[in-house]
Structure 1
Amino acid sequence: MKSGAINLVVEGSQIDTEPFPLERQKNGETLRSALRVRGGQETFSGLTIRQGRTMKEDLAEIKTRHINADGELEIDREVTEKQVDDIEFFEVNTEFVITESTRDDAARELLSFAMDGSVQQALIDVVEFAKANPSAEMNMAGTDQGSNVDHITAVGDIQHATDLPDDVRDHPNILLGFEDLEWEQRELRGFITKSGYLAIYEPSEMDVEEYSRFVREAVLPFATPDVS
C-alpha cells in the first residue's frame, strides 16, 4: 500500500535546507525546527523526487496519574516537556509534496519556508475524478474523520449521477473508494478524499515513483489549492 496527503506547491523553488535549523522562543525555552532531504535524481519517467523529513519542536503539558485506594484518579505531577512533530514527505518536480496526513500543518509551514513560496493542501474534485475514470467501480462516497455529513455513507454509481447532494461535491471530508481503475495496463484499488488524501491498496508493490506519476497524471488535473 502507498498513501499520503497531496499538497500543491503554489509558488516556490527547490527546497533549500541551508537556513535550518530555525529557532524560536516560547515560555523561556528555545525550540528548533529542522528539515532534511535526500535524493533528487531524475527518474526514467522524467520525475525528480526528493524524500525528506520535517521536524518541529513544541511544548506539551505532561501529566502522570494513578488510581488511588478509593478508586479515584489522581495527578502525581504536571510538567512541560519538549516534543517533536516528525513528518516524512516526498517532493516531486517542485510541483507537489506528499505528506503523511492532511493535518500536517507544521510540514507545510516548514516546506513553504524552505521553498521560499507557498505549499498548500490540495482539494480534489472527487466527482470529476470519478467521471474521468468510467471503467472503474466507484460506488462509495463516505466521509473521512471529523466529518459533519455522517449520514452520507453510500451514493452509488456517482460517475453517472446527476442529482448528487451538495455535500458530496463540496464537503472537504468526502471519501471516494475505487476499484478496477485502469492505469498503465494495471487495475488499481484504493480511495481518495476531497481533502487530498490518496491511498492505493492494489497493486501492493506500487513504489514512490509510480505513486508520484499516478498523482501527477490522474489526480492533479482535479486538484486545487485550499486557500481557506
Structure 2
Amino acid sequence: MKSGVIGIATGDLTTVDSFSEEIEKGDDSLASCVEIVSEIRSADGELLGQFGRAAMDQYVDTNSVEINGNSIRTGEKSEIRTQYTEFLLSVDGFVIVKNSGGIFALDLIGKHENVSIERAEVNLNSFISGHSGFTPWKVGFYGKSGNADNGVVHGNEIWDDPELGPLLESQRKNQLGIDIEWRGYEIKMMLTESGYLNIYQPGDFGNTGFMRLVRDEIVPHISH
C-alpha cells in the first residue's frame, strides 16, 4: 500500500487474529470477515504490524425501475452488497485502510478488539512546524476572513511567494502536497487534515516503509 486513511486506536491494539461473523436480519444473513494475510517485519525481524483484508455485507438503497405494460414505475429498493478493503495494522496502535470506502474496517476491528478506532485528524500546521526546509507544491487552506475564505494553491516554492506565502503559512490547512527526505528516500506525498496520505514517489515504496513513515512523521501530529 502507498495510500490510505489513517485510524487511531484508543486502547490497547497491537495485533489481531483473523475472524468472521454472521448477523441475522429478518430473512437475510449479513457476513463480515477480517483476514490477516501476512506479518510486516523490519530487516532485523522486529514485528511492525500486519497486512490484512476486510469485507462486510451491508444494506444499500438503489434506484429501481419496473415496466408494467404501458407504465414505468421508479423507486428505491434495498439490497445487500459486500464492501471490501485492504489494511495495515501497526503494533503502535494505528490502522491504515486503503481508501475512505474502507472505513468500515476500523469499526469491524475495533468492535472485535473492544477498542475505539477513529479516523485521524492531522494538525497540518504542527506537521509543517516539525518539518523545516520542505517545499510544498500544493496547499489547501480554510478559515480565512473575507470573500475568499478557502481555496487550494498549486505551484513551486509556494512559501516564497511574496503575496500568498505569508497568508498561507498563517491559515489553517486541510491538505498539503510536499517533497521531503526521509531515511534516505525522496518522498513526494499528499497529506490531508482528515487523515488521508498518498505516496506518489518513490514507486517502489512498500508496506514497511509506508507504515514506518506514518509512525515516525504523521502520528506525532495527530490530534487526540
TM-score over 0.5 (shorter chain) = yes
Residue aligning to 2:200? 201
SS of residue in 2 equivalent to 1:224: coil
SS of residue in 2 equivalent to 1:123: coil
Normalised by the length of structure 2, the TM-score is 0.78
Residue aligning to 1:4? 4
Q: Is the 8 A contact 1:102 1:195 kept in 2?
A: no
Residue aligning to 1:176? 176
| Structure 1: distance between partners of 2:166 and 2:195 | 22
84 and 134 in structure 1: CA distance in 2 versus 1, 3 angstrom threshold: same
The structural deviation recorded for 1:120 is: 1.3
127 and 41 in structure 1: CA distance in 2 versus 1, 3 angstrom threshold: closer
Identity %, equivalent residues = 21
Q: Is the 8 A contact 1:42 1:48 kept in 2?
A: yes
The structural deviation recorded for 1:3 is: 0.7
Q: Is the 8 A contact 2:120 2:195 kept in 1?
A: yes
Q: Is the 8 A contact 2:3 2:99 kept in 1?
A: no
The structural deviation recorded for 1:183 is: 0.8
| Structure 1: distance between partners of 2:125 and 2:62 | 44
| Structure 2: distance between partners of 1:94 and 1:131 | 23
Residue aligning to 1:15? 16
Normalised by the length of structure 1, the TM-score is 0.77
Residue aligning to 1:146? none
1:215-226 to 2 correspondences below 5 Å: 215-225=214-224
Unaligned runs of 5+ in 1: 68-72, 144-148
| Structure 2: distance between partners of 1:112 and 1:133 | 32
Residue aligning to 1:116? 114
53 and 60 in structure 1: CA distance in 2 versus 1, 3 angstrom threshold: same
206 and 41 in structure 1: CA distance in 2 versus 1, 3 angstrom threshold: closer
| Structure 2: distance between partners of 1:199 and 1:39 | 22
- Aligned pair count reads 206
The structural deviation recorded for 1:39 is: 1.8
Q: Is the 8 A contact 2:17 2:36 kept in 1?
A: no
Q: Counterpart amino acid of 1:189?
A: K
Q: Is the 8 A contact 1:178 1:189 kept in 2?
A: yes
Residue aligning to 2:93? 95
SS of residue in 1 equivalent to 2:153: coil
The structural deviation recorded for 1:184 is: 1.1
Residue aligning to 1:127? 125
Q: Is the 8 A contact 2:37 2:53 kept in 1?
A: no
